[in-house]
Structure 1
Amino acid sequence: MTRYVALLRGVNVGGHRRVPMADLRRVLTELGYAEVKTLLQSGNAVFEAAEQPTADLVAAIEAKLVGEFGFAVDVMVRSGAELRAVVAANPLEVSDPVRFAVAFLSPAADPAVLDAVDPDSYAPDLLRVGEHELYMYFPNGLGKARLSPILTRKLGDKATVRNWNTVTKLLAMVE
């Protein structure tokens, strides 16, 4: 069995697109996954499943969620090893884990799209590109970030963001 992390995009924000975590745990269990645990109310789950391509897990989870809740939910899945690699590959100093975030991309962002973003023009925000992630630091907070709206427009629904505290807690759960 392999441990995985599922990251749901855009659920339980401002009372919209409600996915109660108890229901998420039930949905994942009904899909045959074991040791299902959730973190916070923002759509983070850790589970065990037979080793398989993450695209297969994404397809199964997304289909089950739309059937259960009546709306589509974008899901990103990383194996425990992949999440460990995300943390290990972090190219920036984490001076404040609440203001440091990782955008998990699905699929990997088009390099031409990211090349068109000049992160220096959005200082003091910082951005570094990983393999399938973006590492970002927002010294003034995510709500006041100059870079975040630009990335949202360029990446659309192909990313979900978690702060560093959440990423490291998920890593602890998956290990």
Structure 2
Amino acid sequence: MNTFIAFFRGINVGGKNRLPMKELTALLEELGYQSIRTYIQSGNVIFQSRKKQIGKMAKEISVRIGETHGFEPHVILLGTEELQSAMEKNPFPVKNGKALHFFFLDTVPRKPDLEKLHALQTRSEQFHLQDKVFYLHAPDGIGRSKLAAKVEACLGVPVTARNWNTVSQIDSMLRESF
């Protein structure tokens, strides 16, 4: 069995795209996925499958949600090695887990506009792009960050962000369960 982490973009945020985790779990079970565990309501799921084609699996899940809930969230799937690698390659201190953000990318960006990101960066912010992860250290908060708001547009690929605390908790769940 292969273990995957699914990060759903934009579900249960501000009352939009409601998808209770129990319903998401049932939907994933219907698709044949096993050992499903969720973490908080923002769409973080660990599951197992014999399937290996990440792109097809992500699309299958998104389409099924569209059929049952009327919206197709973008789903970024990672293998356990990818999550662990992202954590190991984090270049920033982890003193405040809410200030450190991982933007998981659908694909490696072909022509990222790093100059524009640097222009949007405040003095307190730092960022680093590594393969399919964009790291942002935003000690003044991500909600006020102009840079954070433009990451996807400047990279040119779909992204979804999680803070260090969430990523770390998912990693702990993986270690406990699989």
Q: Give the TM-score range, shorter chain.
A: over 0.9
Q: So what's the TM-score if we normalise by structure 1?
A: 0.92
Give the secondary-structure state (helix, strand or coil) at the position aligned to 1:110: coil
CA contact (8 A) 1:9 1:74 kept: yes
The Cα shift of 1:113 comes to 2.6
The Cα shift of 1:126 comes to 0.9
CA contact (8 A) 1:4 1:174 kept: no
- Aligned: 1:146 with 2:168: no
Within 5 A, what are the aligned runs for 1:56-75?
56-75=56-75
The Cα shift of 1:124 comes to 1.1
Q: Which runs of 4+ in 1 moved over 6 A?
A: none
Deviations 1:92-135 (CA, angstroms, capped at 9, x unpaired): 11121011110001122234333543268432111011110101
Distance in 2 of aligned mates of 1:49 and 1:151: 31
* Structure 2 residues without counterparts, runs of 5 or longer: none
Q: What is aligned with 2:108?
A: 108
Distance in 2 of aligned mates of 1:16 and 1:125: 29
Which range moves more in the overlay, 53-62 or 4-13?
Answer: 53-62
Give the CA RMSD over aligned residues.
1.8
Give the secondary-structure state (helix, strand or coil) at the position aligned to 1:78: strand
Q: What is aligned with 2:163?
A: 163
The Cα shift of 1:65 comes to 1.0
Within 5 A, what are the aligned runs for 1:3-152?
3-118=3-118, 121-152=121-152
Structure 2 CA distance for partners of 1:65 and 1:120, relative to 1, 3 Å: closer
Distance in 2 of aligned mates of 1:98 and 1:25: 27
Structure 2 CA distance for partners of 1:17 and 1:5, relative to 1, 3 Å: same
Structure 2 CA distance for partners of 1:100 and 1:25, relative to 1, 3 Å: same
* Structure 1 residues without counterparts, runs of 5 or longer: none
The Cα shift of 1:3 comes to 0.9
Structure 2 CA distance for partners of 1:114 and 1:51, relative to 1, 3 Å: farther
Q: How many residues align?
A: 175
Give the secondary-structure state (helix, strand or coil) at the position aligned to 1:12: coil
Deviations 1:129-165 (CA, angstroms, capped at 9, x unpaired): 1110101111111112231123244347711000100
Give the secondary-structure state (helix, strand or coil) at the position aligned to 2:60: helix
Q: So what's the TM-score if we normalise by structure 2?
A: 0.91
